[in-house]
Amino acid sequence: MFTRPLLLSSKLELTRCFKFPQNGMSQYPSYYIKPIYSNDKQTDLIKSGEAQKLAHVPTRAALNDQTSSIYHDDLICLLVNYLMKDGNKLLARDLVEKTMEKIKRVQLEKYHKLANEEEKEKVVLNPRAIIHQAITNVKPILQLTPIKRGGVTYQVPVPITDRRSQFLSMKWLIEAGNEKERTVRFYDQFAYELIDAANNTGRAVKKKQDLHKQCEMNRAYAHYRWS
Amino acid sequence: MLNSLVRRSLLRKVPVQPIILPVAHLSLETQPLERLQSFRTSENNPLNHSDDHIGQFYTIPSEHKKKLFLYGGLPRSYDTQTKTFNESCLMIRKPSVDVINCLRHVDYSKPAVRFILYGKKGQGKSLSLAHIIHYGYSAGFLIVHVPWVGGWLRRCQESSISEFKPGCIDTNLDAAAWLVHFKHQNSHLLDNPDLRTTQDHVWSKRESTPKDVPLGELVDHGINRIKFASQCIVVLAEEIKQLSREGKCKTLVVVDGFNGFFYPNTRILTEKKEVVHPKNVTVTEAFLNLSRFDWKNGAAVVTVDELAIAEKDHISHFPRYLLGRDGFEHMDPFVPVAVPTYTKLEFTSCMDYYRERRWVLPLDGQDEELQFLSAMNPYRLMLLCNSV
């Protein structure tokens, strides 16, 4: 009988003491810190003595794609998430892994074709390096925003945040991978696109250049951003 | 445990003679050290492979590969790897070396010895078999090799009612394809004038193969008259046994996925849409005949594989379960050879090979991580390394 009011009071106390995070859906109170799952970072913390301090701070559980594997790569996890449809992460991850396999096969074929030892060394065989390079190459530095001035909507070039440009880059790469014959596998096409983009050619890079060209053409409207 | 005991006791019966190596090989004390450092051996002749080579990779010469595996026999994933790696290398592993050792020392005047390779999925049964086939080819055996029984009974191309045995079903297209495979693998032996048919074979009113013609002609007949291909295999099996009995050839029967012959649910249907039991498929008879021990100058090496049966029945990988009672009694007594996961040595050697081929980039702690993730399973390791 008397447990109920007790519970209620403690709940009230909680609401008074702590500010809940803005995202009301989070199951963690705001004072929970994010987990440090990378092996390197952990060793650094232990060396500097920070780990002792963090040992008793309440910590969130790691997400299921945050592992201490030596092959963990934040950017590629993000790519998997952007590729994912309907929460089917298994498929998305599988596609990215198969893409990396295809990249390796294509690059190794190039490698074996070359006779010269020096030229062989220049072929990039690391699929992760190629993906990173491709994403950097496709990142735009400006984008167009519609702004209404005097009843007319102008496409105004505006600077872009790094995160947005990274998102656009990956989006365009994935779109380029999807533009294919029905009989071609996505991961094969995606691999070719990534290799092309890493060499600064291909459809995704073309898209970036087109956007830059459009921005250049609309430079006269640039002042609409602030006036 | 029991299996290893049975296996050991069976192996003990085989007189193991020391292999005589040139003095230069024996006197070098550095040999073990050299072996540890190298994951590759230059000894490409499977006749000379011994326990010393375990864990090392050897190259199958491309002309041998074309001859033996042109029409199947190597898993498809292995084929893509060889294309990428620009060479076809096989790891020399304990089970295949054991079988080769036995084949080397078996008394061929005694009834045929049967070996059964078994192991979980992806542990290298088919590739061990490929190594043994390569040995058989180098040692001059007549090779009767079925690349994959599942291909006949679970994915057959067409079926028709047999004319020769009432109630039986022919799978003629597959049978003809196999005859082409057999002819290609043994083209160098079929020219041998000793290999002649021992009986008359009447196919129809007008067609017959007389006694005392080269075996190649019998095979050709099966290929040209696809209608008789299945029956041709049955006849060919009997002829091969007879020739081996007479000592005109040594025969190595190699069947991958042998348990398929005893699994009741095939995907072959009669005209009334009833499932055909494998014993009612004509080609089955031929290979059951070849895997009996009522002949000499021959040996059979077969694998039992979960993948040769329907997925719902992948329960155990042991021969007793996979062969069932009938199959087990048919094969008994046999030498069971377990194909295990990689040992530490084999694992390191495999990773070294991948690194040398630039398939995997060297990274600290890589071996340890992959070892745990793959649980030392060769196929799973290959899959993991694909995206690394």
pLDDT in tens, B116-139: 999 999 999 999 999 999 999 999
Q: What one-letter code names the amino acid at B381?
A: L
Asked if B243 contacts B197 with a C-beta cutoff of 8 angstroms, the reply is: no
Is B239 found in the same domain as B91? yes
Q: 3-class SS at B115? A: strand
Q: How far apart are CA B84 and CA B382, in angstroms?
A: 13
Q: How far apart are CA A200 and CA A145, in angstroms?
A: 26
Is B375 found in the same domain as B298? no
**Å from A207 to nearest chain B CA?**
28
Minimal Cβ distance to B387: which of A70, A100, A125: A100
Give the A:B interface size as CB pairs under 8 Å.
35
**Is the pLDDT confidence value at A1 over 70?**
no
Quickly state the pLDDT bin for B58 (edges 50, 70, 90).
very high
Judge: A100–B386 Cβ closer than 8 Å, yes or no. Answer: yes
Beta strand B298-304 pairing with B113-118: parallel
Task: Please state the domain extents for chain A.
Answer: 31-72, 87-224
Task: Give the model's pLDDT for residue B194.
Answer: 87
Asked if A176 contacts A99 with a C-beta cutoff of 8 angstroms, the reply is: no
Q: Which residues of A have a CB under 8 Å from any CB of B?
A: 69-71, 96-98, 100-101, 104-105, 108-109, 111-112, 125-127
Residues in chain B with CB shorter than 8 Å from the CB of A128 are none
Asked if B290 contacts B177 with a C-beta cutoff of 8 angstroms, the reply is: no
Q: State chain A's mean pLDDT as an integer.
A: 90
Is B247 found in the same domain as B361? no
Asked if B291 contacts B114 with a C-beta cutoff of 8 angstroms, the reply is: yes
Judge: A70–B365 Cβ closer than 8 Å, yes or no. Answer: yes
Asked if A104 contacts A127 with a C-beta cutoff of 8 angstroms, the reply is: yes
Is B367 found in the same domain as B304? no
Asked if A194 contacts A106 with a C-beta cutoff of 8 angstroms, the reply is: no
Is B93 found in the same domain as B223? yes
Minimal Cβ distance to A105: which of B84, B361, B366: B84
Average pLDDT over residues A74-101: 96
Q: 3-class SS at B110? A: coil
For residue B388, how many C-alpha atoms fall within 13 Å in the half-sphere facing its CB?
Answer: 25
Task: Give the model's pLDDT for residue A6.
Answer: 46
Structurally, chain B folds into a number of domains equal to 2
Judge: B386–A127 Cβ closer than 8 Å, yes or no. Answer: no
Rounded to a whole number of angstroms, the distance between the first and last alpha carbons of chain A is 67
Is B369 found in the same domain as B231? no
Task: Give the model's pLDDT for residue B16.
Answer: 43
Is B325 found in the same domain as B202? yes
Asked if B3 contacts B336 with a C-beta cutoff of 8 angstroms, the reply is: yes
Judge: A97–B386 Cβ closer than 8 Å, yes or no. Answer: yes
Q: Which residues of B have a CB under 8 Å from any CB of A?
A: 80, 84-86, 357-359, 361, 363-366, 369, 386-388
Residue B122 placed within a domain = yes
Residue B5 placed within a domain = no
Residue B9 placed within a domain = no
Task: Give the model's pLDDT for residue A30.
Answer: 86
Query: CATH number of the domain at A87-224, please?
Result: 1.10.455.10
Is B222 found in the same domain as B366? no
**Is the pLDDT confidence value at B51 over 60?**
yes
**Is the pLDDT confidence value at B354 over 60?**
yes
pLDDT tens track for B215-233: 999 999 999 999 999 999 9
Judge: A71–B388 Cβ closer than 8 Å, yes or no. Answer: yes
**Is the pLDDT confidence value at A7 over 90?**
no
Residue B68 placed within a domain = yes
Is B366 found in the same domain as B258? no
The token pair at B73 is: 């026999």
Task: Give the model's pLDDT for residue A18.
Answer: 54
Residues in chain B with CB shorter than 8 Å from the CB of A71 are 369, 388
The token pair at A125 is: 């065989």
Task: Give the model's pLDDT for residue B388.
Answer: 87
Average pLDDT over residues A113-131: 93
Is B74 found in the same domain as B152? yes
Q: How far apart are CA A191 and CA B160, in angstroms?
A: 45
Asked if B54 contacts B92 with a C-beta cutoff of 8 angstroms, the reply is: yes
Average pLDDT over residues B96-117: 95
pLDDT tens track for A24-44: 788 888 899 999 999 889 999
For chain B, the residue count is: 388
Q: What one-letter code names the amino acid at B345?
A: L
Is B352 found in the same domain as B282? no
Q: How far apart are CA B69 and CA B184, in angstroms?
A: 9
Residue B17 placed within a domain = no
Is B121 found in the same domain as B69? yes
Interface test with chain A among B77, B84, B88, by most A beta carbons within 10 Å: B84
Judge: A98–B387 Cβ closer than 8 Å, yes or no. Answer: yes
Q: How far apart are CA B208 and CA B206, in angstroms?
A: 7
Asked if B235 contacts B217 with a C-beta cutoff of 8 angstroms, the reply is: no
**Å from A136 to nearest chain B CA?**
21
For B363, the domain range is 344-386
Judge: A109–B84 Cβ closer than 8 Å, yes or no. Answer: yes
Task: Give the model's pLDDT for residue B1.
Answer: 47
Task: Give the model's pLDDT for residue B10.
Answer: 45
